[in-house]
Amino acid sequence: MKIPLVDLKAQYRSIKPEIDAVVSDVLDSGWYIMGDRVKEFEKRFAEYCTTTSSIGVGNGTSALRLAVEACGIGEGDEVITTPHTFAATSEAIVSCGAKPVFVDIYEKTYNMDFEKIEEAITDKTKAILPVHLYGQTCDMDHIMEIAQKHNLKVIEDSAQSHGAECNGKRAGSIGDVGCFSFYPGKNLGACGDAGAVTTNDNEISMKIGMLRDHGRSKKYEHKYIGMNERLDAIQAAILNVKLDHLDDWTAKRIENAGIYTELLEGTDAILPYTAPFAKHVYHLYIIRTQNRDEIKQKMNAKEIEAGIHYPIPLHLQPAFQYLGYKEGNFPIAEKIAKEILTLPLYPELTREQMEFVVNSFKEASG
């Protein structure tokens, strides 16, 4: 039984007539970049995130990059973030001329340890960039308290947390700005690259709207040195269709995560933890286990695409060696990286498939 980590074909089949219809409409329209379909999606996604605006951009990395710049962060500034995430989080900081400053994570949630933030603040610190990893938000109430105390911007990396909540507040609506990826495998995924920035700050919204389009305030008038990071109409149309299904898909992810947890009881695996303040939307189902690499290899041999998110913390990546960190600086992130194993999880996954995954895990770890 072949079980992919993410089954994009299964999702497409489930809504094929809707997707095909809007793609055909866009192609017939002749309007392929920006336009009414993008505006419609921006309006609807802002409503979904409970923000006053959302700005469609080319991808999740662009969302982060534009958000950092729009918050006034540049050469010589510092931004506090986590080493346990995808490289794009810190790439966005570095591309603006600023320096990522890492703090360790909580062992249970794998998210930023807010108790480590204040000791990392210097007179160069301009922002905190928490990452809502695997579908669960950081402890945003405490992070916002620290940010307000020190007059820092908060940029939420919400690329894995569409619809996740912290004490009833949606990811992307809590800080100054939220950054979303619609990479195809996300909970809300396009059929290609796409992203969005959400905010309740009108000034930030207007600036990002210009920066994504060559810094233009209007045609041939350029207020800023911008970029070409516009959202394609065809992706916006697809995202509009999928947004209608997102709540149902999220409920199914949560249900499937519960089945995994039930089936894995009694094993030596450390199972996902949901913080009391959080609504977890399970972008990924992450367990921890000893002999992880051997277990993964055995499961892969049975055509189960178990994966690893993320095997090398950012402070140990060659690209970030210039920051001067070394092994031992962030012991929890380093420990987690050696133990995490990602099991296949998506709304279309059946109980039979999950039973096969778990039985294969038990055999591999036995």
213 CB-contact burial (10 Å; exposed 0-12 / middle 13-18 / buried 19+): buried
Look at residues 58, 41, 39, 38 and name the one whose alpha carbon lies nearest to residue 49: 41
Query: Could you give the angle at the alpha carbon of 40 between the alpha carbons of 38 and 46, nearest 5°?
Result: 100
Look at residues 301, 325, 305, 303 and name the one whose alpha carbon lies nearest to residue 314: 325
Give the pLDDT of residue 1: 85
Given a cut of 90, is residue 82 above it in pLDDT?
A: yes
Give the pLDDT of residue 218: 84
31 CB-contact burial (10 Å; exposed 0-12 / middle 13-18 / buried 19+): middle
pLDDT tens for 311-345 read 999 999 999 999 999 999 999 999 999 999 999 99
197 close to 172: Cβ distance less than 8 angstroms: no
347 close to 356: Cβ distance less than 8 angstroms: no
- Unique residue bearing structure tokens 């990479």: 183
Give the pLDDT of residue 366: 79
- Sign of torsion, CA 158 276 351 296? positive
pLDDT band at 362 (very low <50, low <70, confident <90, very high): very high
Residue 292's H or E segment, with its range, is helix 292-301
Mean pLDDT of 202-210: 96
Mean pLDDT of 71-98: 97
110 close to 133: Cβ distance less than 8 angstroms: yes
In three-state secondary structure terms, 86 is coil
Count of CB atoms situated within 10 Å of the CB of 363: 12
Share of residues in the chain with pLDDT > 90 (%): 97
Give the pLDDT of residue 193: 97
pLDDT tens for 107-164 read 999 999 999 999 999 999 999 999 999 999 999 999 999 999 999 999 999 999 999 9
In three-state secondary structure terms, 170 is strand
